[in-house]
Structure 1
Amino acid sequence: MGKATKHILIVGGYGHVGKLIARELLAKPNKGVRLAGRNREKAANTAAALGCESTVLDIAERETWAPAVVESDVIVMCIDTPDNSLAAHVLMKGKHYVDISASQAVIEGVETLDSLARSSGGSAIVSVGFAPGLTNLMVKSAVERMDHAETARIGVLLGLGDAHGEAAILWTLSNASDPKMPDRTPARIRFGNDRKASVAFPFPFSDQYAVRRTLGLSEAKTFLSLGHDFFTTLAFRGAPLLRDRPGAQRAIAGLLTRLRVGSDRAALAVEVLGRLDGQRASVTMTCEGRREAEITARVAAFVIGRLLVTAAAPGVHHIDEVVDANSVFDELAASDVAITVR
C-alpha cells in the first residue's frame, strides 16, 4: 500500500509566496495542497493553474474557518493576521500551524498560544522563511561553534530587481520607520564576496528578538540593505515621510511590483561574537542566493515536509528549536543557495 496523502492548506495561497510554496509542495509525492483565501475566484483560478484544489477562508469571517481547516493536516499562514484567533482555532483542533510572517507582533501573538497548543496536542512553527527563518538557523549554527555566544548582528540584503509581492513591499515600507527602532544608525555590512561593504539600516525583522530567547544571546540586531547604497539610504530616510500616508505607500508598492531596479540577489551575513577557548572570538556566516521569495518557499516546504514525517512536540516553536540547521542548508544547496562559514 502507498503512503497516505497528507493535506496542506495554504492561507493566502494565491499570493506571491503562497503560490511558490504550493509549487514546491506539489513537486513532492503524497501531498494534497489546497489554496485558501477570501476571494473564491482568485483561489480557484490559481489552483487550477497549479493543478491543486482551492477553498474559501476569510480571516474576518469565522464561519469559513472550520470547513477549510477540518480536513487539513498542516495549515500554512502566508498573510499577516490581525490577531491570533485563527491560529488558536487551528491549534485547538490539534493540528500543525506554520507561519511565515516576519512581523514580531504576529509572532508574539502565536507565542501566547503555547499552553493551548500543549494541552490540545497541536504545534505551531514560527520564524519560517528567509528572514526570519534562515537567519535564525545561521545564528544558531554560528552559536554552536563557540563556547559562549553573546551578541549577533544579522544583515539581510534584498535586491530591488527581485519580484516582491505588493503586500511584502507595503510591509517593508511601513516598517522602515518603525518607532520601535529608535536607533536608525546605519551599518556597513559585507555580503558574500563583495569587494566593499553595503549600507544597511536597522529593521524590525522578528529574528533579532527570537534568537535572544531561543539561543540565550544578550543582544541581537538586524539590518536591511536593498543592494544599492543610494536606494537603501533614500528608502530609509524617506520612510518617515510615508508613515501616515497609506495611499502614497500603495502607489509606490504598486510601482515597484512592475518596475525593478538592479538584481534579484538575496543575501545574508551573520556575525556572532562571544568566547572560544577562553578568548574573544567571532563566527561569520554568509548566504548567497537569488529570489528571496523562492528561498522562503523552499524553507517553508522543508519545514512542512518534516512536520508530516516527524511531528513537532505540542507547543509553539521557532524554526531553530525544531529543525536541524545543516539539513536545511543541504536542501538549499541543491538549488544554488550557498551558505558559508568564514
Structure 2
Amino acid sequence: MNSVLILGGYGAVGREAAAALTGYPDTWVIVAGRNPGRARPGPATAAMRVDAADPDDLARALDGVTTVLMCAEIDNARVARACLERGIGYVDVSASHGLLAGIQDLDDVARDSGATAALSVGLVPGVTNLLARICAERSPASEVHIGVLLGSGEQHGPAAIAWTLDGLGALDGSWTMSFPAPYGTRTVHRFPFSDQYTLPATLGVPSARTGLCLDSRLFTGLLAAAGRPAVARLLRRRAVRDLLLKALEKIHLGSDGFAVTVSSGTAQASFSGRLQSRATGRAAALLIRDLPAMPPGVRHIEQLVDPVAFLTELASGTVDLRLDLQVDG
C-alpha cells in the first residue's frame, strides 16, 4: 500500500493531485494542513491536521507514510530532510529556485536512506523541464527559451497569488514566443520560475530563460508595468500588497486555459490545455505512482522520466490537455 501525505492538500493543486492518486490501485491519500475543515476527502482519502512548521507535529504525521507531496512553501528543505532521513519519498511542486536548491543539498541524505526526492514536478517547473529536454536533445543551442501563458480567469489560492506578486519585482527582459492556437504569438516577460536556473545543470545547456504572459493581454500589460522600479517599490509596501491580494482573489478576467512552449535552436514543442492546477496535480500524481522504482537521491523530473512517454500519458484520457510534439529540427 502506498500511503501519500499531501501537505497543502486543501489547495487547488493538492485537491487535483489527491483526486488523481485515488485512481491508482493500492494508494491511500491523506490531505493535510492546519485547517482540516477545508478538506474535501473523497474515496480512499482522509483529512489530517498537520502544522508542518512544528517538527513534532510533522514527525507524528509521517508515521506509516511512504511518500510526501509538498504543495506549500513552509520551510520545505527541513520537511524534505525529515522525510528523507526516514526513507520516505518526497515530491515537491514548488517553483522557487532558492527553495529547491536547499533540497538539492540533501542528495547524500536521500542516497544514504535509499529514498527519492523528485523536484520540479508540475506544469512550470515540470512540463517545461521535459519539453526543454526534448528540444535541447533534438536541436542543441546556446540558449533554451521557455514561454508560459497562464489563464488569468482560473481561480487560484492566496498563496499562489502572493508568490506571483512577489516575483513581479524580478521581471527582467521580454521576448516573443509562439503558442498553440488560439493564443498565437505573444510577448513574454522574464519571471523567476526555477526551471531556467536548474536546466543548465541538469541538461547541460549553456543558458535558459523563462518568460510569463497571461491570456488576457490587458493583464499581461499590467504585468510588464509591475516590473518597473517605481511600481515594484510600491508593491513591496505591505498595505498595497495586501489590498492587491484581496482584489486579485476576486477578479478573474480571462479564461482557465494555459499553454507552455519551449524552443531550442530549430526545435519547438508545446503543451496546452485547461486548468493549470489540474495539470500540475496530475503530473505530481503520475510521478508519485512510479516513484518507488526510481533511483535514490535528489533529482529534477527531467532526470527521472522519459519526457515523451511521461507527457503522452499525462495528456492521454482527457480532453483538457494537449501535447504538441511536432518538433522541427
TM-score by length of 1: 0.88
* Aligned amino acid, residue 46 of structure 1: R
Q: Is the 8 A contact 1:199 1:233 kept in 2?
A: no
- Cα offset, 1:195, TM superposition: 7.1
Q: Partner residue of 2:192?
A: 204
d(CA) in 2 for partners of 1:290 and 1:137?
Answer: 19
CA distances 1:131-190 after superposition (whole Å, capped 9, x unpaired): 0000000011112223x4432000000011112222111100111112xx5xx2221222
Q: Could you tell me how far apart the structure 1 residues matched to 2:226 and 2:197 are?
A: 25
| Structure 1 segments unaligned to the other structure (5+ residues) | 274-281
Q: How do residues 324-335 of structure 1 correspond to structure 2 at under 5 angstroms? A: 324-334=306-316, 335=318
What is the match of residue 154 of structure 1?
A: 146
1:196 offset after TM fit, Å? 4.5
- SS of corresponding position for 1:327: helix
The answer for the alignment partner of 1:218 in structure 2 is 206
Matches for 1:61-210 after TM superposition, within 5 Å = 61-82=54-75, 84-146=77-139, 148-178=140-170, 184-194=172-182, 196-210=184-198
Q: 1:67 to 1:248 in 2, by over 3 A?
A: same
- What's 1:228 paired with? 216
Query: Any conservation in 2 of the 1:187–1:201 contact (CA below 8 Å)?
Result: yes
How far does residue 235 in structure 1 lie from its aligned partner after superposition?
2.2
Output the aligned Cα RMSD: 1.8
Give the match for residue 304 of structure 1: 288
Match of 1:278 in 2: none
1:14 aligns with 2:10: yes
Task: Tell me the residue number matched to 1:23.
Answer: 19
1:283 aligns with 2:271: no
Tell me if structure 2 keeps the 8 A contact 1:152–1:271. Answer: yes
Aligned to 1:276: none
Residues 241-278 of structure 1: CA deviation (Å, up to 9, x unaligned): 443223433332333333211111110110012xxxxx
Structure-2 separation of matches of 1:113 and 1:251? 38
Deviations 1:43-62 (A, max 9, x none): xx433x56621222212211
Classify the secondary structure of the residue corresponding to 1:161. coil
3-state DSSP of counterpart to 1:9: strand
Q: State the shift of 1:89 in Å.
A: 0.7
Shift in Å, 1:70: 1.9
Could you tell which deviates more after superposition, 208-217 or 229-238?
229-238
Q: 1:173/1:242 Cα in 2 relative to 1: closer, same or farther (>3 Å)?
A: farther
In the alignment, the residues of structure 1 paired with residue 249 and residue 79 of structure 2 have an alpha-carbon distance, to the nearest angstrom, of: 29
* Residue identity matched to 1:270: V
Residues 242 and 289 of structure 1: CA distance in aligned 2, closer, same or farther (over 3 Å): farther
Q: Is 1:293–2:277 an aligned residue pair?
A: yes
Structure 1 residues 195 and 324: alpha-carbon distance in aligned structure 2, compared to 1, 3 A threshold: closer
In the other structure, the counterpart of 2:301 is 319
Q: Is the alpha carbon distance of 1:40 and 1:333 closer, same or farther for their aligned partners in structure 2, counting shifts above 3 Å? A: closer
Render the CA deviation track for 1:279-336: whole Å, top value 9, x for unaligned: xxx101112211110100111011001114x2x2111000000111112221232223
Aligned 8 A contact 1:81 1:106 in 2:
no
Note the alpha carbon deviations across 1:196-242, whole angstroms, 9 max, x for none.
52121000100111111111011100000012333212123135144
Greater shift in the superposed pair: 264-273 or 77-86: 77-86
Q: Normalising to structure 2: TM-score of the pair?
A: 0.92
Alignment partner of 1:84: what SS?
helix
Which letter maps to 2:225?
A: R
Kindly indicate whether the alpha-carbon contact (under 8 Å) linking 2:149 and 2:212 is maintained by their aligned counterparts in 1.
yes
1:10 is displaced (CA, Å) by: 0.2
Q: Percent same amino acid at aligned positions? A: 34
| 1:269 aligns with one of 254, 261, 266 | 261
Whether contact under 8 Å (2:286, 2:314) holds in the other structure is no
Partner of 2:40: 46
Paired with 1:250 and 1:15, the residues of 2 have a C-alpha distance of 20
Unaligned runs of 5+ in 2: none
